[in-house]
Amino acid sequence: MPPAPCVPHAPEAGSRPCSHALSRPAEAPHARIRLLGQRLVARGATLATAESCTGGLIAALCTDVPGSSAWFTGGVVAYANEVKRDVLRVDPVLLATHGAVSEPVVRAMAAGVRRLTGTRYAVAVSGVAGPDGGTPEKPVGTVWLAVADGDTVHARRLLFPGDRASVRLATAQAAVETLLALLGEQEPPRETDAP
């Protein structure tokens, strides 16, 4: 079993923020997604997505790749809490207690979409893409990302710099890289200090 994926944590209070340094920014996500598809097909496995802040971008990037129907089953854009609750079966207590952008909620989203679609792997994201909506505890650029491998779910908190489009794209790329790391393809991207 591959080690649990490890992607950068958001900074603790009082520390400097970090950005997610994607190791292959020039490869645009499609080459990496083709590789992800190859790895999934080799395992006879499929993938589903549960997306909030990315609004379906991860699923769109996956289905941009010809042949993705062999490994991508579908996704749920759970932008509203009601969709998280009613479609993905996220416990309303988790949403009320922790908020949509939280570890318990993103874990439940990943588990929920995996159950819904019957896939082995699932990825879920929920974050604050901006430009509004940030708080001191969850500033703009904060994203929770979870990946499910069977019944095991791993989650990480990330902090991305940039505007709304940049945060959404970085989140999608981080999801792909985290899945590849889970499949043993490479070490996940390392954090770097933001200027």
Instruction: Calculate Rg over the CA atoms of the chain.
Output: 15
pLDDT tens across the length of the chain (195 residues): 333 333 343 333 333 333 333 444 435 678 999 999 999 999 999 999 999 999 999 999 999 999 999 999 999 999 999 999 999 999 999 999 999 999 999 999 999 999 999 999 999 999 999 999 989 999 999 999 999 999 999 999 999 999 999 999 999 999 999 999 999 986 544 443 222
Query: How far is Cα 16 from Cα 103, in angstroms, rounded to an integer?
Result: 21
Closest CA relative to residue 188, chosen from 23, 10, 1: 23
Instruction: Enumerate residues 6+ apart whose C-beta is below 8 A from 20.
Output: 7, 8, 158, 159, 160, 170, 174, 189, 191
Secondary structure (DSSP) of 11-57: PPTTSPPEEE--S-GGGHHHHHHHHHHHHHHHTT--EEEEESTTTTH
Query: How far is Cα 50 from Cα 108, in angstroms, rounded to an integer?
Result: 10
3-state SS class at 153: strand
**pLDDT value of residue 57:** 97
**pLDDT value of residue 107:** 98
Q: Are 131 and 164 in contact (CB under 8 A)?
A: yes
**pLDDT value of residue 185:** 80
Query: How far is Cα 83 from Cα 99, in angstroms, rounded to an integer?
Result: 14
Instruction: Enumerate residues 6+ apart whose C-beta is below 8 A from 146.
Output: 103, 106, 107, 109, 110, 123, 124, 125, 153, 154, 155, 156
